[in-house]
Structure formats: C-alpha cells, structure tokens
Amino acid sequence: MSAKINSVWSAVLLLALALCLSGCTPAGPRALLKGKKYLDRGDYADAIAELKTATEILATNAAAWNYYGVALQRASQLDDAANAYNRALNLDRDLVETHLNLGILFLQQGKPDAAKTEFTAYTLRRPNDATGWLKLGSAQLKLGETVPAERSFSAVLALKTSEAEAYNGLGLARIQRGKPREAAQFFAAAIQSRPGFAAALLNLATVNHQFLHDNKTALENYRAYLALTPPPANADAVNNIAAALEKSLTPVVVAPPPAAATKPSPPVIAAVEPKPTQKNLPPAVRPPPRAETPKPVAVIPPPQVVQVTPEPKIISTPAAVQPVQELPVPEPAAKPSLFNRLFAAPTPDAAAAPKFLASGITPLPGDPAPPPPPPAPEKKVVPVVIIPPAPVDFPRYNYLAPLRPQPGNRRAASSSFTQARMAEQDQNWPQALAEYNQAVALDPSWFEAQYNAGVIAHRLRNYDSALASYETALALQPGSVDARYNFALALKAAGYVPDAANELKKILAANPDEVRAHLALANICAQSLRDPAQAREHYQKVLELDPKNPQTADIRFWLAANPG
C-alpha cells in the first residue's frame, strides 16, 4: 500500500529545519520527525509510539494525525487508523492524501461504498494522479458499477501511467458485463505492458479456462503464473487446477475392436512419451470428442492488444478532459440525417397509408372500391410557377450578459461539487444538477461548477438553465472553446438558430481549424438557414481538416447534390 504523505512532509521538514537552525527542536516536531523516520524504515511499532506522542502534543496538526493513521494502517490496526484519518480530515478537509489513505483502508475493511466517496474526493483535487483513478475504479467494480469503473480505468490510460493495472481493471469490468473475449484481450494487454504481471496472468488463465473453454491456452497461462518468482501465495491451489487440466488434455489411446477372424490380433502397445519438463513443454493436445472420429483442433490466435482510449466525458471540467467531439446531449427530437433526407425510401407507414381516389374519397376498409370516374376532357396546360418557400423567422435569444461573478466560499462549495460528481457516476442527473447548482450558489466564480451545471441542464433539456450557466461560465473564461461550443449547441436545441450560428462563428474567428465548429455551422446553414453557399464552404473545410470524419460520406453526397 502506498500512502500519499509526501505533500505534507515538505512543510514539516521546513519547520524542523528552521527549529534545528535555531538550536532546539520542541518535543512535538521531534516526535513527528522520528515517527516518520521509523515509518520509512518499516518499524511500525516505534513509529506508532512516536507519532502518538506527536498527536498528543500537536493535537491540531492534521499532518501528524495522517502520519499516525498510516503507521496504524500498516500495522493492521485498521479501526484506530480510521479514527486517526477522520481526525485529520476534521482538522483539514483539504488534506487530500488523507482521503486516498482512508479510501484504501475502507477497501481493506470491505466498505467499497465509503471508499468510493473518499476516492472521488481525491480525484477531484488530484485529477492527474493515476493512483486515485485506479482505486476509484476498484471500488466501483466491487459495487458492480462496471461502466463508471471503465471510465475510471480509461482515465488512467489517458494519463499514460500504470497501464498494466488499468488494462487488468478493464478486463475485470468486461467479465462483469459478460464479455469474456474482450476481457481476455485486456488481460493480454496488461501482460504485454508488464511482463510477469501475476494478477493479469491468473485472470487470463481463468477466462480461457472457465469462460472461453480454451484449455490449451489456459494451461499455458497457468504454467506461466506458477513459474513466477517468488512463487505466488496460492501456487498450490493453482498447481492442482493446472494438473487436472493437463490430465484432461492428455490423449487417450483406445484399443481397436477385435477382428472378426478367429486368429487373435497382436496387442497394441502405446509408446510412452517422456514427461515434459517445465523449461521445455511440448504443446498440449486437446482430446477429440470421440475416439473413433477425431476432429482437428481449431487454433485460436493469440489475443490482440487493444489500446483503449477513454470515453468522451460529457460531464467534466474542460481543463481535465479532451474537448467533446460530439453533441454532449441528444437533440430534443430525432432528426433524419442529411443522407436519409436526400435519398431515403418512403417509410412503411407512408407506403401502407390509404391512397385517395381520383374522386377525392378515401375508401373504407373492406368496402369495394367505387368505379373510376369518366376521363375528364382535355384542358389547356397552364405552366407552373415554382415559388420558393419564405425564409423561416427564427426567434432570437435575449442574452443575459452576466458580469464576472465574485468569489464565494470554495471550501463549502467543494462538498456539493463532490456530491454532484458522485451523482454523475450513478447517472442520477437531477441530483447532479441540484448539487452543482448548490456549489454555484456557494461560489459563483467556480468555472467548473458553472460549466458542469450547464452540461447537466442541457442533458435534461432544461435549456433556460443551461444557457444561463453557459453564459456565466463564459463570463469567467471567455476563451473556453468547450463552453462556447456547448452554448451554441444549446442555442440551436432551444430554437435560437441564428444565435447558435453566431457563437460558432466566434469560435472559428479565434480557432479557424476547429473541425466540430465547422461541421456544426455547416449543418445549420444547410438544414435551417438554407444558405447552401456557406454550408458548402464549411463542409469542404471539414473534409480538408478531417478527411476521416465519421460524416464524410454524407458530406460528399450533399456536396454532389448541391454543386456550387
């Protein structure tokens, strides 16, 4: 277990150095220094004694209580350690290392729900520390929250650290979701990232054995696990499984039935193969289903390593997450795509609808159709004049134009922000919005709280609230591309199409290569504003900047149907 205590240690060290230079060290800091020294050496009994003295003298020092909790935890005195950590947090809620230590302790005690709360608090303040995301994913797995766990493990991969543990966690999540083949790929990726990774080796062997029924590959994984140095603690149990599996794979020699002739046939003698050694193992042979008609064994290729990128986080602070490439919120009503509207066939309902007769009467079900009317006399053909449709008169948005809010109580707002993030993990969007709004009320200057409140309200189609939150977020950070892009999407969803186009143009004025803004603006011009010239310009820019865009085919169809 790795306790996060270094960030507070620097302050303690500076204090001790100043006291040493002054010629004396008081008893409290001296006990704290000695306790830390014993803790680093692994002498937990002496560390507990010194750190207990330090907490008695420095009763209001949160760092001392955190060190005391670490020593108790490493000595397996978990209840006393929990009390020490809670005392530290009561003194300083911003001592983030204590949140991580307490979460690890809760996992040891089998309390994943409490551990999840502490790890969430830690990742909010240390979003670039892979350890917090790994531990959060582990707690979510124990709670059966597989999708949030996958997001946490993907966050680790985005940080490019601890890839082996993250791949192993993703494999465990895939097992919970009933996808053993994908799980095997993740376990194989973990082993490639860290050869000899015991947990991944055993997990891969178990998946091949119990789920994929690939006993040959499973036996190879079991043998690789048993060959680790030092031997795993459960080596005996795994060895028994491997021995039984190897026995089941040994081919059985069956004597042929006796011939019809009276003369007895000579006995069949099976050659005795030498027992394979651990260093030079021959390939295991899968026994045929029937001895009389052996079937060839299908060779399963080795698992491929899958590089997993984190899913785009809809609810996130822009500083910590890559910009969202797609709409973060579904549109109020599903609209047919550009390709479908140009080339789609009639829907079944339309095809099945009753046709009007020439007389203008719709036939009733079951009644015979009336005879057709006599042909009308020929009339002089009058040329048809096509009148273009009048332009749509869109409503305009009444901008609130808020001033930059003044700072509030960030510490009080942090509690609501943490609760909002936890509600997001549970996909409880109304609760998340309520908590974000509470955080905003306590500290209106918190950009992340304003932005996230806008995204959640957008998801819930509460556009008035979303637009107000986005405007306030932009008052705090006018250059935020994510906030302005989402603001434009909310304007479009609320029906303020011209204003949405204007916001996208603002993005492109400062960021000419922003593909998503070009694409969104082209769609608005083509579908709503009926401005094919501008639509063509922005569609061509999308193809130039991103030739592999998922909508490339639709864009090319539109360009072919609307030549410039």
503: pLDDT strictly greater than 80: yes
For residue 378, being part of any structural domain is answered with no
Query: Are residues 531 and 455 located together in one domain of the fold?
Result: no
| pLDDT tens-digit series, residues 165-213 | 999 999 999 999 899 999 999 999 999 889 989 999 999 999 999 999 8
pLDDT at residue number 383: 58
pLDDT at residue number 51: 93
Average pLDDT score over residue span 296-313: 36
For residue 340, being part of any structural domain is answered with no
489: pLDDT strictly greater than 90: yes
Query: Are residues 482 and 530 located together in one domain of the fold?
Result: no
The H or E element that residue 51 is part of is: helix 44-57
Query: Are residues 429 and 526 located together in one domain of the fold?
Result: no
535: pLDDT strictly greater than 80: yes
For residue 188, being part of any structural domain is answered with yes
Higher confidence at residue 255 or residue 414? Answer: 414
| pLDDT tens-digit series, residues 362-371 | 334 444 444 5
138: pLDDT strictly greater than 70: yes
Q: pTM, whole model, 2 decimals?
A: 0.49
What percentage of the chain has pLDDT greater than the value 90? Answer: 52
Which of 233, 250, 267 is the last residue in one of the domains? 250
pLDDT at residue number 99: 93
Query: Are residues 484 and 531 located together in one domain of the fold?
Result: no
For residue 390, being part of any structural domain is answered with no
Query: Are residues 522 and 483 located together in one domain of the fold?
Result: no
pLDDT at residue number 277: 41
Higher confidence at residue 287 or residue 526? Answer: 526
pLDDT at residue number 388: 52
C-alpha 367/C-alpha 352 separation (Å) is 17
Query: Are residues 439 and 469 located together in one domain of the fold?
Result: yes
471: pLDDT strictly greater than 70: yes
561: pLDDT strictly greater than 90: no
Contact assessment for residue 68 and residue 36, using Cβ atoms and an 8 Å cutoff: no
Crossing angle of helices 447-459 and 410-425, rounded to 10°:
30
Higher confidence at residue 440 or residue 315? Answer: 440
Query: Are residues 542 and 480 located together in one domain of the fold?
Result: no
pLDDT at residue number 285: 35
Least confident range from 199-213, 234-248, 341-355: namely 341-355
Average pLDDT, the chain: 77
346: pLDDT strictly greater than 70: no
Query: Are residues 438 and 522 located together in one domain of the fold?
Result: no
Handedness of CA 354, 360, 362, 366 (dihedral sign): negative
Domain range holding 195? 162-250
For residue 327, being part of any structural domain is answered with no
Locus of tokens 């009467």 = 361
For residue 175, being part of any structural domain is answered with yes
Q: Is the peptide bond before 230 cis (omega within 30 degrees of 0)?
A: yes
C-alpha 388/C-alpha 373 separation (Å) is 34
What percentage of the chain has pLDDT greater than the value 70? Answer: 70
For residue 7, being part of any structural domain is answered with yes
pLDDT at residue number 141: 93
Higher confidence at residue 482 or residue 331? Answer: 482
Of 529, 404, 524, the residue nearest 475 (C-alpha): 404
CATH of the domain at 202: 1.25.40.10
Query: Are residues 44 and 86 located together in one domain of the fold?
Result: yes
Res. 163 pLDDT band, cuts 50 70 90: confident
Query: Are residues 41 and 78 located together in one domain of the fold?
Result: yes
The H or E element that residue 231 is part of is: none
Give alpha helix (H) positions in 289-337. Answer: none
pLDDT at residue number 493: 93
Residue count of the chain: 564
Higher confidence at residue 507 or residue 557? Answer: 507
Average pLDDT score over residue span 152-159: 88
491: pLDDT strictly greater than 70: yes
Res. 375 pLDDT band, cuts 50 70 90: low
| pLDDT tens-digit series, residues 244-302 | 988 888 765 555 555 544 444 444 333 333 444 444 433 433 344 444 444 443 333 33
| Chain center to CA of 537 | 35
User: How many domains does the structure of the chain reveal?
Assistant: 4
Contact assessment for residue 173 and residue 141, using Cβ atoms and an 8 Å cutoff: yes
Query: Are residues 62 and 13 located together in one domain of the fold?
Result: yes
Query: Are residues 442 and 401 located together in one domain of the fold?
Result: yes
Which of 217, 250, 283 is the last residue in one of the domains? 250
C-alpha 285/C-alpha 248 separation (Å) is 10
C-alpha 176/C-alpha 362 separation (Å) is 56
Locus of tokens 């204003």 = 499
C-alpha 200/C-alpha 218 separation (Å) is 12
Which of 76, 94, 109 is the last residue in one of the domains? 109
For residue 289, being part of any structural domain is answered with no
Least confident range from 26-30, 77-81, 151-155, 429-433: namely 26-30
